[in-house]
């Protein structure tokens, strides 16, 4: 078997999610090649070559791939992927965009968002917002699979020495073009890979109050998330949403502040190792999944938390 992993990156650095996808590929077994498609992405290719268990890194460096347009990536991956038994990518917004297109071009099914590998053709994935866990067997000769990164411990980022090969396949479908982007600039750890995440919900009341969470996050080196209610209310931008249709996180510590715990939110964070809930409503469903619950007004508890953390950290 041979597996093609499509790297997730931003043209300058390799996203840790890719290392989790390589781990999923290892669980399937076989030679693992990584495709880095982007523009001026040489540094990413170098990083991918150092990752554990990678045999070969393919680099498709062209302006057509610079903004990861799904139409162009899909044509490239469908062409390169024909020689592989499996094509894997992280189930982030990039992978979710181009991978089904790859599957359709190859006339095969896709298995989305797997959290476990049972065998080379059988995978485990959550359905119904994680309220049910399905074991699915794929019959196609090429398995197109997206991987939920939190389901797999990343392979080591260092220690490998894969060869790097340039690929000169240029696919420009001419269907779409990049116009602009609004990137959330932040020095904080990436929500999806942070060891600690602190999230705010509707109880935060407004966007300014998220500054309280930022102060705690700075002390802990934590990423900041939000519930859908907080995003819908315009308190914070969409890329902070944790949940069924937002980001899936599984940090060592998840602190939910003013979040009631709708099932769609729990779907995005219930695999966290330790969950803390701070909410003034003691009936809030979030307490049913929390390891430590504090029934308190968050406007008192969060500043206190900051003070107490300063004492012990």
Is 114 in contact with 22 (CB distance < 8 Å)? no
CB of 106 to another protein, least distance (A): 9
Q: Taking CB under 8 A as the rule, does residue 173 contact another protein? A: yes
Nearer CB in complex with another protein: 130/200: 130
What's the Cα-to-Cα distance from 19 to each of 45, 54, 193, rounded to whole Å?
A: 13, 10, 11
Nearest to 113 by CA among 101, 102, 104, 100: 100
Structure tokens at 127: 């359905």
Is 295 near another protein (CB under 8 A)?
yes
CB of 263 to another protein, least distance (A): 8
Q: Minimal distance in Å, beta carbon 67 to another protein?
A: 8
**Selection from 270, 266, 277, 130 nearest residue 198 by Cα:** 277
* DSSP secondary structure letter of residue 63: G
Stretch of 26-34, 40-48, 55-63, 270-278 contacting another protein, by CB under 8 A: 270-278
The whole-angstrom separation of Cα 193 and Cα 150 is 8
Q: Using CB under 8 A, which of 122, 169, 215, 299 touches another protein?
A: 122
Q: Is 127 in the site for another protein (CB under 8 A)?
A: yes
158 binds another protein (CB under 8 A): no
3-state SS, residue 3:
strand
The count of chain residues that interact with another protein, using the rule CB under 8 A, is 93
Which DSSP helix (H) or strand (E) runs through 57? Answer: strand 56-61
For another protein, the binding residues in 73-112 under the rule CB under 8 A are 74, 92-94, 96-105, 107-112
- Which of 63, 165, 288, 297 binds another protein (CB under 8 A)? It is 288
Q: Determine, following the binding rule CB under 8 A, whether residue 161 of this chain makes contact with another protein.
A: no
User: Within 10 A of 156 (CB to CB), how many other CB atoms are there?
Assistant: 13
């Amino acid at each position: 078997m041979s597996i093609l992993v499509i790297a997730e990156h931003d043209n300058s650095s390799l996203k840790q999610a890719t290392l989790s996808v390589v781990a999923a590929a290892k669980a399937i077994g076989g030679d693992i090649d990584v495709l880095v498609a982007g523009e001026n992405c040489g540094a990413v290719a170098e990083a991918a070559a150092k990752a554990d268990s990678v045999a070969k890194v393919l680099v498709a460096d062209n302006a057509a791939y610079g903004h990861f347009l799904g139409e162009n990536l899909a044509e490239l991956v469908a062409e390169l992927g024909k020689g592989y038994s499996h094509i894997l990518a992280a189930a982030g917004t990039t992978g979710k965009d181009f991978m089904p297109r790859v599957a359709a071009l190859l006339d095969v099914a896709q298995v989305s968002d797997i959290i476990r590998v049972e065998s080379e053709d059988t995978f485990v994935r959550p359905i119904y917002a994680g309220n049910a866990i399905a074991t699915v067997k794929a019959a196609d000769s090429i398995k197109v699979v997206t991987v939920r990164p939190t389901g797999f411990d990343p392979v080591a980022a260092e220690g490998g020495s894969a060869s790097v090969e340039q690929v000169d396949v240029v696919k420009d479908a001419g269907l779409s073009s990049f116009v602009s982007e609004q990137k959330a600039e932040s020095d904080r750890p990436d929500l999806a890979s942070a060891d600690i995440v602190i999230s705010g919900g509707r109880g935060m009341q407004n966007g300014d109050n998220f500054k309280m969470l930022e102060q705690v996050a700075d002390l802990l080196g934590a990423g900041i998330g939000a519930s859908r209610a907080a995003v819908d209310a315009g308190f914070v931008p969409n890329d902070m949403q944790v949940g069924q249709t937002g980001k899936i996180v599984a940090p060592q510590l998840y602190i939910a502040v003013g979040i009631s715990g709708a099932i769609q939110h729990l779907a995005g964070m219930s695999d966290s190792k330790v969950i803390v809930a701070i909410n003034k409503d003691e009936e809030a469903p979030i307490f049913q999944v929390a390891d430590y619950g504090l029934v308190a007004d968050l406007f008192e508890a969060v500043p206190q938390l900051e003070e107490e953390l300063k004492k012990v950290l």
